[in-house]
Structure 1
Amino acid sequence: MASLTHTPAAGSPSPPRGGATRLRSLAAYLGAAPFLIYVGVFLLYPTLIVVLGAFQDDAGQVSTENVQALTGGVYLEAFLRSIELSATTAAIGAVLGALLTWAVSTARPDGVLRRVVTSACGVLAQFGGVTLAFAFLATFGLTGLVTEFLKDHLGIDIFSGGMWLFDMPGLMLIYTYFQIPLMVIVFLPAMDGLRAQWREAVESLGGSTWRYWRHVAAPVLAPSFLGAALLLFANAFSAYATAAALVSQGSPIVPLEIRGFLTSEVMLGQQNVGKALGLGMIVVVGVVMGLYALLQRRAARWLR
């Protein structure tokens, strides 16, 4: 009876040994070690400090008073204003950014116009902080270029109704400035994912452009659009430097409230309340980014 034992052919590679496989796996983990260390030191460790501090009183004892303080008073109002600011700028930035994205997607992929617009959006989406606040102050401030021009030549005082630039309306205007280009960067791949064959199929069946956008393009783009809007919300909700440079008095939003607890001498010894505010921001951003991940998973099916 012939033997059923398989004999490797001459010259065929032998299967990898267990030790070599383990070494390759170890090398892969070592390659990711710098990134894991970076995440642990600058993300996980600060998050752990915030979470533990939120449930401790000034004496270091376990307490829920700091978290309970967020359910009312000025802290709840700060959260509501932050959510209002983030939702408003995310909605405006998503709509205007989507329209700009559609205009860019109609241009040639290798054309000059598209490359210039996408490059500009990449720069402007990161143009924030103190630099952006100074740019708006120099342009629309009390003695800004546009303010003085309108006052001297047209007799229009844009601050006749109050110091809107240094309050919530001003923050909404400035935040929208960097939300629109960010929307273009995030939403453009989804817009490029629309296939020309789908429009041709609708037209061959006698459908109009409206029917194509209503029944084909809109359902395909909806998960990506909503996911991008959630990303804009998280981007505005966590922004700090621009508001800190623009608003010198008061703390209308949560990041500025946290700054007050960590730097103000009046609130000395109440740092854990600021950590409770930070915990609230982590929860809100975590929920938003979780929904974003779900929508992106649904949208990825159309981008394959």
Structure 2
Amino acid sequence: MASQAVAAPRRKLRGTALLGTVPFFAYVTIFLVIPTLVVVIGAFAGDDGGVSFANVKALTNDYILDAFGRSIVLSAVSAVIGAIGGALLAYALVTSKAGGVLRRVVTSAAGVLAQFGGVTLAFAFLATIGLSGFVTVWLKDHLSIDLYANGVWLFELPGLILIYTYFQIPLMLIVFLPALDGIRPQWREACESLGATTWQYWTRVAGPLLAPAFLGSTLLLFANAFSAYATAAALVSQGSPIIPLQIRGALTSEVVLGQQNLGKAMALGMVIVVAVVMGLYSLLERRTAKWLG
């Protein structure tokens, strides 16, 4: 009887805890599961309502492969630049005073700038270094430097890399800073007491420990850039150099007859790429958690 009396409150507590997860699972279902199912079903749906592989086969078209290639290059380059820049900035914060004003201000600013994108970010770059931006005009009038002497690069892949790096660096700072905080000062003191140099400490102790976190954060930045849409859509008004803009074109303009679901097939390709990247990120995060714990 006593055991039953104890088990009843436990079951009630477990039921209450599960009830608290209902909003989360409802959110995931509405905004992740259902859209993914729509993409998968639409990618293999024919015009007659039956199953068709025509949309998936169309992904081998040159213009779609080129868009995927440019998206991968854009994501990889901006992720590497953002990872290096963000890691150096994070290290500078770790070496500063713990809990100081500088750290609080920089981390707060990074949290804001990591989410700063879309039309606002595109307008900021246009107003700054656009064809008529104040920096562009000032450099040309005072220093005779023409930023666009070799072409309008801001609206092409180099410009997108520059703009994406703007929000990749603060994102790297946020996700990589906990890993640097996990490095114990005693480890470096132990290395120095054993006669190790700074280079040996970073290459044989801190470097191997931080490598999984660094690579995992870089993969997260890649996925972030690969799935970004609003900034490129606001900046690029003509053409579709990357795959998110190709999907926009397929969904909002006239499509080739018999390929109405081509946009969903391209979205399925993006889902697969992001799923692979996030799977690798999860594995690296699991390894990092072993020593952070």
C-alpha displacement of 1:81: 0.6
Partners of 2:131 and 2:271 lie apart in 1 by 36
- Structure 1 residue aligned with 2:240: 251
1:32 aligns with 2:21: yes
Distance 1:15 1:168 in 2: 67
Distance 1:201 1:19 in 2: 52
Q: CA deviation at 1:273?
A: 0.3
Aligned to 1:5: none
**Residue type matched to 1:179 in 2?**
Q
Aligned to 1:280: 269
The 5 Å alignment of 1:124-203 reads: 124-203=113-192
Query: Equivalent residues in 2 for 1:1-304 (5 A)?
Result: 15-16=4-5, 19-265=8-254, 270-304=259-293
User: Tell me, what secondary structure is at the counterpart of 1:26?
Assistant: helix
Q: What's the TM-score once normalised by structure 2's chain length? A: 0.96
Give CA-to-partner distance per residue, 1:149-182, whole Å, 9 cap, x none. 0111111111111110001010000000100010
Q: Is the 8 A contact 2:40 2:268 kept in 1?
A: yes
Distance 1:222 1:43 in 2: 31
Give the TM-score of the pair, scaled to structure 1: 0.93
1:108-163 C-alpha deviation (Å, 9 max, x unpaired): 12111111111111111111111000000000111001010011111111111111
For 1:216, give the aligned amino acid: V
Kindly tell me: are residues 164 and 176 of structure 1, through their superposed partners in 2, closer, same or farther at Cα, counting changes over 3 Å?
Answer: same
**Conservation of the 8 A alpha-carbon contact between 2:219 and 2:277:** yes
Q: Say if 1:133 and 1:242, in contact at 8 Å, map to a contact too.
A: yes
Q: Percent identity?
A: 67
Partners of 2:28 and 2:207 in 1: CA distance? 37
Structure 1 pair 268–31 and aligned structure 2 pair: CA distance change class (3 A): farther
CA distance in 2, matches of 1:227, 1:128: 23
Residues 268 and 35 (structure 1 numbering): CA distance in 2 closer, same or farther, change over 3 Å? farther
C-alpha distance after superposition, 1:21-63 (max 9, x if no partner): 4433322222111111111111101110000000012222211
Contact residue 182 and residue 292 of structure 2 kept, 8 A: yes
CA pair 21-269 structure 1, distance change in 2 beyond 3 A: farther
The superposition leaves residues 43-90 of structure 1 with CA deviations (integer Å, 9 ceiling, x where unpaired) of 101110000000012222211111111123111111111001000000
Q: 1:175 to 1:125 in 2, by over 3 A?
A: same
Query: How many angstroms apart in 2 are the aligned matches of 1:70 and 1:16?
Result: 62
Contact 2:212 2:285 in 1 (8 A): yes
**Higher mean C-alpha deviation, range 171-180 or range 18-27:** 18-27
Q: 1:150 to 1:99 in 2, by over 3 A?
A: same
CA distance in 1, matches of 2:111, 2:8: 46
Structure-2 separation of matches of 1:15 and 1:68 = 61
CA distance in 2, matches of 1:270, 1:62: 13
CA contact (8 A) 2:223 2:277 kept: yes
Shift of 1:204: 0.4
**CA distance in 2: counterparts of 1:66 and 1:246, whole angstroms:** 28
Quote the Cα distance in structure 2 between the aligned partners of 1:203 and 1:65.
63
Q: Contact 1:261–1:268 at 8 Å: present in 2 too?
A: no
RMSD: 1.6
Cα distance in 2 for residues equivalent to 1:66 and 1:266:
12
Task: Please report how far the alpha carbon of residue 267 of structure 1 lies from its aligned counterpart in structure 2 after TM superposition.
Answer: 5.1
Q: Secondary structure in 1 aligned to 2:99?
A: coil
Distance, in Å, in 1 between the alignment partners of 2:208 and 2:134 is: 45
Query: 1:19 deviation in Å?
Result: 4.8
Highest CA radius of gyration, 1 or 2? 1
